[in-house]
Each structure stands twice: as structure tokens, then as C-alpha cells.
Amino acid sequence: MHASEILDLRALVEDAVRQALPSCGIPIGEPFDPDDAFDTLDTTEQLVAFMGFTGPVLRGTLALVAPLDIMRGSYPLLLKDRACSVFDVFDWTGEVANHLLAKAKSNLASRGVTIEASTPRVMLAQQPRVTRSVQGTICSTCFASGYSWIKVWFDAIAPDDQPVFGSSLAEHVVLSAGDAVIF
């Protein structure tokens, strides 16, 4: 993957984060490099949601890392009056990762890149660290949220001998959150 493609990919993912997380009730600030956050010893409990994806050109993994308290605070208003166990928040975190990857998938499709996603897997961890699998193939970003931050890793691998992005689809009109269509 070329450096310019990595930059474009990162911009697409950051755009997806900016759209998907606030629509799920999670306010975020401007992105910064997660490496800047590595040095801080954060002992709060973190939820880590993973989703795999694959396509004709691009394949990889999305990881969403967020403090348990932020995810509990964003649990849907409709359900907040009811008992909310930590497993409900696990489930909600997986759904947020699903929203995020769906948005990234739409953004990629508008650039001629198709991917199919797995279902999410969520874990609870303290001080999680994510290693860079192969230098240059990872798109990673971190967004401030309240007094903490949410990290998003988008590991993406593509063959070096073919371009990642195809031609834009002129007729590509994607429905957005809350849109409805009756056939």
C-alpha cells in the first residue's frame, strides 16, 4: 500500500469515527496519534471491540478501545431506566463497533473499495496495548472523549502491486443513520 493510500484510508476511517460515534451518543474531540496516549498509565477498565473485514483488495481488522464508563454513559437512553449489566454494555460496544465499521464500509464503497465485515467480539481489559502488525499497513487514530479517549485501530493490508482505491461510483447514494425506505 502506498503512503498516499494510507493517508486517504486514515482520513476515511477518521471521517467514519466522527460520524458514527456521535450518532451513538459518544461525543469526541479532534483525533491524535494513539502513540501519544501509550505513555500514560491508564488503569481504568477498557472495552475492546474487534471486527474483521475482507474484500477483493483490502482486508484487516477494526479495533475500538473505549473506557467502560464512556460506553456505559452512552448506553441508549431508551433503555437506561432498565437494569444495565456490564454484559449489556459489552453488547452495546459491539453494536457501536458495528456502526463504525458500517460507516467505514460506506466511505470505502464511495471510493470503489468493497469489504465484508465479521460480527463483533468484545473483551474487557485493563491497560490494553495493540501492537502494529506490519509497519505501514496500519491506520490508527485516537479521539478525546470527556476526560479520557477512545482509540480506533484500522489494520489494513492490500497487495503492493495494485491500487487500493478504484473509481468512484457516480450513482453511489448511501442511506444515513435514521433514514428509511419502503419498497
Partner 1 sequence: MAKTILIIDDSRTVRQQVGIVLSEAGYEVLEASDGLDGAEKIAANEELSMVICDVNMPRMNGIEMVSFVKKEPKNANLLVLMLTTEGQPSLIAQAKAAGAKGWIVKPFKPDLLLATVRKLAGAP
Residues found near partner 1 in the complex (CB under 8 A): 23-24, 75-76, 78-79, 82, 88, 91-92, 94-95, 98-99, 101-103, 105-106, 109, 117, 119, 171-183
User: Nearest approach, Cβ of 21 to partner 1 (angstroms)?
Assistant: 11
Query: CB of 68 within 8 A of CB of 45?
Result: yes
Q: Between 4 and 176, whose beta carbon lies closer to partner 1? A: 176
- Choice between 138 and 150, CB closer to partner 1: 150
Provide, rounded to whole angstroms, the least separation between the CB of residue 169 and partner 1. Answer: 9
Which has the closest alpha carbon to 88: 152, 101, 80?
Answer: 80
- The single-letter DSSP state of residue 57 is S
Residue closer to partner 1, measured from CB, 34 or 55: 55
DSSP 39: T
Cell (9 digits) for 2: 502506498
CB of 25 to partner 1, least distance (A): 8
81 exposure class (CB count in 10 Å sphere: 0-12, 13-18, 19+): exposed
- Compare residues 118 and 137 and give the one whose CB is closer to partner 1: 118
- Find the shortest distance in angstroms from Cβ 15 to partner 1: 15
- 59-67 and 121-126 beta bridge pairing: unpaired
Place of cell 490508527: 140
